[in-house]
C-alpha cells in the first residue's frame, strides 16, 4: 500500500516569517539561529534546517479533533521554507535520522486506534502495518524523545 508523508501548510506560517522578535514574542513564538546540522527539524519542509538559517519555535495544534486526543505541542518551522513537503513511499530526511519515532494511528473521528515505536530508519514496516488497519484514517509521527509532532502520514 502506498503512503504519503506531508509537512504542514506553508501558508499557515508565512505571516510569521521575518517579523521582529518583539512581534513574535507577543504571539508566543521564539526565533532561533540554527547551530547544528540535526536538531531543528522544519515541519513544513520535513528536513532539518541548516546551520546559519533561522527557525521559529511555536506551539501548534496538530490534532484538532474534539476528542480526548486533541493535542498541541512545540514545533520548529524554517523561515526559508518555500513549499510544503510531500513524500510518496519515502521517509523524509528529518524522520529518517531520528533515533526513535512514535507513530500514532487515528480513525476518521480523531480517536487513536493503534500506535508503534520504531527507529527513524525503520519506519516503513510500521507505517504500512498501521495503514493496513481499515479503521486508520491517518497517522501522526512524533519525535519520541521530546514528543514533538513531526509529520502526517496517509494512504497514497
DSSP state of 18: T
pLDDT at 1 (0 to 100): 83
Distance, CA of 113 to CA of 153 (rounded, Å): 15
Mean pLDDT of 18-39: 97
Q: Look over the chain and give the mean of its residue pLDDT values, rounded to a whole number.
A: 97
In this predicted structure, the answer to whether residue 149 has a pLDDT above a threshold of 90 is yes
Other beta carbons within 10 Å of 64 = 10
How many domains are there within the chain?
1
- Taking only the tens place, the pLDDT of each residue in 63-85 is 999 999 999 999 999 999 999 99
Mean pLDDT of 27-33: 97
Domain that holds residue 118: 3-155
Give this prediction's pTM: 0.94
Amino acid at each position: 500500500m502506498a503512503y504519503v508523508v506531508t509537512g504542514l501548510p506553508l501558508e499557515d506560517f508565512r505571516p510569521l516569517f521575518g517579523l521582529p522578535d518583539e512581534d513574535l514574542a507577543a504571539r508566543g513564538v521564539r526565533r532561533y539561529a540554527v547551530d547544528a546540522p540535526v536538531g531543528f527539524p522544519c515541519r513544513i519542509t520535513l528536513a532539518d534546517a541548516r546551520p546559519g538559517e533561522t527557525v521559529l519555535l511555536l506551539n501548534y495544534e496538530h490534532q484538532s479533533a474534539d476528542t480526548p486526543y486533541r493535542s498541541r505541542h512545540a514545533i520548529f518551522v524554517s523561515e526559508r521554507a518555500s513549499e510544503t513537503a510531500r513524500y510518496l513511499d519515502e521517509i523524509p530526511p528529518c524522520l529518517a535520522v531520528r533515533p526513535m519515532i512514535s507513530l500514532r494511528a487515528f480513525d476518521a473521528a480523531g480517536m487513536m486506534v493503534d500506535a508503534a515505536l520504531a527507529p527513524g530508519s525503520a519506519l516503513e514496516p510500521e507505517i504500512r502495518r498501521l495503514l493496513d488497519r481499515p479503521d486508520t484514517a491517518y497517522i501522526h509521527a512524533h519525535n519520541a524523545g521530546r514528543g514533538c509532532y513531526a509529520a502526517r502520514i496517509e494512504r497514497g
